């Protein structure tokens, strides 16, 4: 198996890629894309002339064999207690924390209770786990990997779980040491998983439980799937999903300065900033060159053009209605669609944050290609699910490359060429879609 640590990947690659390329391609089949190949109808003036997707990749991320092929170890006869995962934030952040929680529950030989999804006031949100995900499907798919119950046993059903706080813990956080004693004492606890942890020490059965639950166990409720399918069918094919986040809150949060925005956008950003002031001077410059600043629609269109994405491409915008300066994109790419432009029914109007985010997620994991201007929770989840489905036209636009190049005063055709080059390298090497836990890199 050619699963290679990232630090030695490059060196080994040069030597090994050629030698093993043919051999590997004979062993591992490439799953076919369910959609026909996009044909480029408009030819770029750039020398390469072809869409980025036509470049041959060397590395591809696929589910690790130890997950897909290993039979889960038998679950211990006794449970050490019950764990509820308390999840906060947007849909994909909650999902990430829940996935971590499944691994933890299995690590501790505990039984999982359905998680609590935060009711996000700012979204006027009231949908819980069962409103977004299909509970029976989850139970079915995780059978044998981890114990899950829909209902608590009578003796603890009336109790609230004891909260064990690990959310702020960083680095090496040992759940067996820190959380197991509380679990054994109270029998029913709730946790929000730590920001980061040493999962490399997990036994394989705990990692497999996480992978199985997170990537094979979660599908949307039937109602949401039906609505999502309706949306998917309404989008002209083939299409690119673009996750573009240039919204006032995102820009305010980034603490970046922009000089070329309309006054209404500037006002919206100022309002969203509150106490959080933007960086200025040299700090602002360094901040930007580290790739911390969200791409504007105009910059995004520039990169898309550099990647030879034809201007008549159908683009689904996976985003809310709050994107600023959208003209910067739509003046070049005219076939742009959003869920609110395609769905008008009463049932759609009643949808809020989580369920609306679920629609975007569904379209994103089923689109011919996917590009994001950011590598956030949604993008990580989507990229993993696409890899699982064998959809490899997935790319993360480099804010860093863009800012570094433009700060050097590079413009026009030169900028295009440089942007093409660095994104091509990322695409060829599978960089950006590196999915650490359940996915392994395979050389093609
Ligand atoms: C969980 O059970 C396995 C055996 O099934 C055992 O090896 C492991 O030590 C147990 N872990 C805990 C935290 O109880
Ligand atoms: C929140 O949602 C409820 C029902 O879903 C609705 O009646 C109410 O007007 C909404 N409030 C805001 C501020 O959107
Ligand atoms: C500013 O934005 C407009 C369109 O929004 C664009 O035409 C112009 O080239 C931009 N200028 C710079 C310096 O980016």
User: Does 71 have pLDDT greater than 80?
Assistant: no
Structure confidence at residue 69 as a pLDDT band (50, 70, 90):
confident
Q: For all residues of the chain together, what is the average pLDDT?
A: 85
Strand order in the sheet with 336-337: 336-337, 314-317, 239-243, 369-372, 394-396
Cis status, amide bond into 238, omega within 30 of 0? yes
The pLDDT of residue 140 is: 96
Candidates 224, 444, 245; CA nearest to 352 is: 224
Structure confidence at residue 48 as a pLDDT band (50, 70, 90):
low
Structure confidence at residue 433 as a pLDDT band (50, 70, 90):
low
User: Which stretch of 153-157, 322-326, 422-426 has the lowest confidence by average pLDDT?
Assistant: 153-157
Residues within a 6 A CB radius of ligand 1: 76, 80, 108-109, 176, 180
Q: Which ligand 1 atom is the nearest neighbour of the CA of 108?
A: 13
- Looking at domain 223-246+294-443, its CATH class is alpha beta
Q: Name the one residue in this structure whose structure tokens are 């190049």.
A: 405
Structure confidence at residue 125 as a pLDDT band (50, 70, 90):
low
User: Does 420 have pLDDT greater than 60?
Assistant: yes
Q: Which ligand 3 atom is the nearest neighbour of the CA of 327?
A: 5
Structure confidence at residue 28 as a pLDDT band (50, 70, 90):
very low
User: Does 3 have pLDDT greater than 80?
Assistant: no
59-63 and 439-443 beta bridge pairing: antiparallel
User: Does 172 have pLDDT greater than 80?
Assistant: no
d(C-alpha 22, C-alpha 4), whole Å: 18
Note the pLDDT tens digit of each residue in 397-419: 999 999 999 999 999 999 999 99
> What is the whole-number distance in angstroms between the Cα of residue 106 and the centre of ligand 1?
9
Instruction: Look at 13 and 100; give whichever has higher pLDDT.
Output: 100
Residue 297 beta carbon below 6 angstroms from any ligand 3 atom: no
Instruction: Look at 18 and 363; give whichever has higher pLDDT.
Output: 363
User: Does 4 have pLDDT greater than 60?
Assistant: no
Domain ranges of the chain: 82-216, 223-246+294-443
Residue 188 Cα to chain centre, angstroms: 31
The pLDDT of 222-237, averaged and rounded, is: 96
Supply φ then ψ for residue 10, to 5 degrees. -60, -45
Q: Which two tokens stand for residue 98?
A: 């829940």
Structure confidence at residue 255 as a pLDDT band (50, 70, 90):
very high
d(C-alpha 6, C-alpha 431), whole Å: 10
* Percent of the chain with pLDDT strictly greater than 70: 84
User: Which stretch of 72-81, 87-96, 145-154, 189-198 has the lowest confidence by average pLDDT?
Assistant: 189-198
Instruction: Look at 249 and 430; give whichever has higher pLDDT.
Output: 249
The pLDDT of 227-231, averaged and rounded, is: 95
Structure confidence at residue 325 as a pLDDT band (50, 70, 90):
very high
Beta-carbon contacts of residue 149 (< 8 Å; ≥ 6 apart): 82, 111, 112, 113
Identify the bridge partners of residue 441 per DSSP, sorted by sequence position: 61
d(C-alpha 167, C-alpha 86), whole Å: 10
User: Does 193 have pLDDT greater than 50?
Assistant: yes
Structure confidence at residue 123 as a pLDDT band (50, 70, 90):
low
Q: Which two tokens stand for residue 53?
A: 């997707």
Pocket test for ligand 1, best of 72, 75, 76 (most atoms within 8 A of CB): 76
- Rg of the chain (C-alpha set): 23
Instruction: Look at 36 and 237; give whichever has higher pLDDT.
Output: 237
The pLDDT of residue 198 is: 61
Q: Which two tokens stand for residue 443?
A: 């050389």
């Amino acid at each position: 198996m050619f699963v290679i640590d990232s630090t030695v990947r490059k060196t080994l690659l040069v030597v090994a890629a050629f030698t093993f390329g043919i051999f590997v391609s004979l062993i591992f089949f490439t799953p076919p894309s369910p959609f026909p190949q996009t044909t480029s109808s408009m030819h770029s003036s750039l020398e390469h002339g072809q869409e980025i997707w036509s470049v041959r990749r060397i590395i591809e991320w696929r589910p690790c064999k130890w997950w897909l092929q290993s039979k889960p170890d038998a679950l211990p006869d006794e449970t050490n207690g019950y764990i509820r995962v308390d999840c906060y934030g947007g849909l994909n952040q909650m999902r990430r924390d829940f996935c971590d929680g499944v691994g933890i529950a299995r690590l501790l030989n505990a039984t999982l209770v359905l998680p609590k999804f935060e009711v996000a006031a700012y979204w006027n949100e009231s949908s819980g786990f069962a409103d977004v995900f299909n509970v029976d499907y989850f139970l079915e798919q995780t059978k044998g990997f981890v114990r899950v119950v829909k209902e608590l046993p009578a003796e603890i059903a009336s109790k609230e779980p004891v909260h064990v706080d690990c959310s702020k813990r960083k680095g090496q956080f040992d759940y067996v040491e820190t959380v197991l004693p509380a679990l054994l004492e109270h029998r029913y606890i709730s946790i929000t998983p730590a920001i980061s942890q040493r999962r490399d020490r997990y036994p394989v059965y705990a990692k497999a439980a996480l992978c199985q639950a997170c990537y094979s166990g979660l599908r949307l409720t039937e109602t949401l799937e039906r609505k999502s399918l309706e949306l998917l069918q309404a989008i002209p094919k083939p299409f690119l999903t673009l996750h573009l986040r240039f919204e006032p809150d995102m820009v305010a949060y980034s603490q970046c300065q922009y000089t070329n925005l309309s006054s209404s956008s500037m006002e919206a950003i100022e309002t969203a900033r509150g106490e959080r002031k933007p960086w200025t001077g040299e700090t602002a410059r360094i901040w930007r060159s580290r790739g911390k600043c969200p791409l504007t629609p105009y910059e995004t269109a520039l990169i898309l053009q550099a990647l030879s994405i034809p201007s008549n491409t159908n683009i689904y915008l996976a985003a809310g209605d709050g994107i600023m300066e959208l003209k910067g994109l739509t003046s070049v790419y005219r076939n742009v669609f959003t869920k609110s432009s395609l769905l008008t029914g009463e049932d759609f109007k009643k949808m809020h944050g989580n369920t609306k985010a679920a629609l975007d997620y569904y379209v994103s994991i089923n689109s011919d290609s996917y590009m994001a201007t950011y590598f956030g929770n949604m993008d990580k989840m989507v990229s993993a699910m696409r890899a699982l489905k064998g959809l490899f036209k997935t790319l993360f636009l480099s804010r860093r490359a863009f800012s570094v190049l433009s700060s050097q005063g590079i413009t026009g055709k030169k900028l295009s060429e440089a942007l093409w080059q660095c994104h091509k390298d990322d695409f060829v090497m599978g960089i950006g879609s590196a999915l650490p836990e359940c996915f392994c890199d395979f050389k093609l």
